[in-house]
Amino acid sequence: MAHFLNENLRVITEHRAKADRIAFCTDDVTATDVLSRGHLDHLVRMAIAQGLEPMRAIQMATINCAQIYRIDHLVGSISPGRVADILLVDDLQAFRVGQVVAKGALVASGGEMTVAARPPARSPGLLHTVSVERIGPADVQVRTDRRAARARVLSMAMSEEVPFVRKRREVELDVRDGVVLPDIGRDVLYVAVVERYGKSAHRPVAFVSGFGLRAGAMASSASPDDNNILCVGTNPADMAAAVDHLAAEGGGQVVVRDGEVLAFLALPIGGIVADLHPQDMARMEAGLDDAARGLGCRLPSPFMYLIFLSITAIPDYAITDLGLIDCISLQAISPLL
Is residue 125 a part of any domain in this protein? Answer: no
Residue 5 confidence (pLDDT): 82
Same domain, 157 and 97: no
Same domain, 223 and 279: yes
Same domain, 145 and 244: yes
pTM over 0.85: yes
Same domain, 99 and 228: no
Is residue 171 a part of any domain in this protein? Answer: yes
Same domain, 95 and 230: no
Assess whether the previous peptide bond of 326 is cis (omega < 30° from 0).
Answer: no
Please state, in angstroms and rounded to a whole number, the distance separating the CA atoms of residues 334 and 215.
25
Q: Kindly compute the dihedral angle of the four CA atoms of residues 335, 310, 216, 279, in this order, to the nearest 10 degrees.
A: 170
Please state, in angstroms and rounded to a whole number, the distance separating the CA atoms of residues 196 and 244.
11
Per the DSSP assignment, residues forming a β-bridge with 182 are none
Residue 99 confidence (pLDDT): 97
Residue pair 205/229 in contact (Cβ under 8 Å)? The answer is no
* HEC letters along 217-236: EEEECCCCCCCCEEEEECCH
Please state, in angstroms and rounded to a whole number, the distance separating the CA atoms of residues 114 and 188.
49
Residue 57 confidence (pLDDT): 95
If you write DSSP's letter for every residue of 55-106 in order, what string do you get? HHHHHHHTHHHHHHTT-TTTBSSSSTT-B-EEEEES-TTT--EEEEEETTEE
Assess whether the previous peptide bond of 91 is cis (omega < 30° from 0).
Answer: no
Domain count for the chain:
2
Residue 1 confidence (pLDDT): 66
Q: What is the pLDDT of residues 242-295, one digit of tens each?
A: 999 999 999 999 999 999 999 999 999 999 999 999 999 999 999 999 999 999
Per the DSSP assignment, residues forming a β-bridge with 176 are 179
Residue 120 per-residue DSSP state: P
Beta strands 205-209; 148-156: pairing state: parallel
Q: What is the pLDDT of residues 299-315, one digit of tens each?
A: 989 999 999 999 999 89
Q: Is 325 helix (H, G, I), strand (E, B) or coil?
A: strand
Q: What type of residue sits at position 159?
A: S
Residue 160 confidence (pLDDT): 59
Q: Is 237 helix (H, G, I), strand (E, B) or coil?
A: helix
Q: What is the pLDDT of residues 34-48, one digit of tens each?
A: 999 999 999 999 999
Residue 28 confidence (pLDDT): 83
Q: Which residue positions in the chain have pLDDT lower than 70?
A: 1, 158-162
Task: Determine the structural domain holding residue 96 and report its residue range.
Answer: 5-113
Q: What type of residue sits at position 21?
A: R
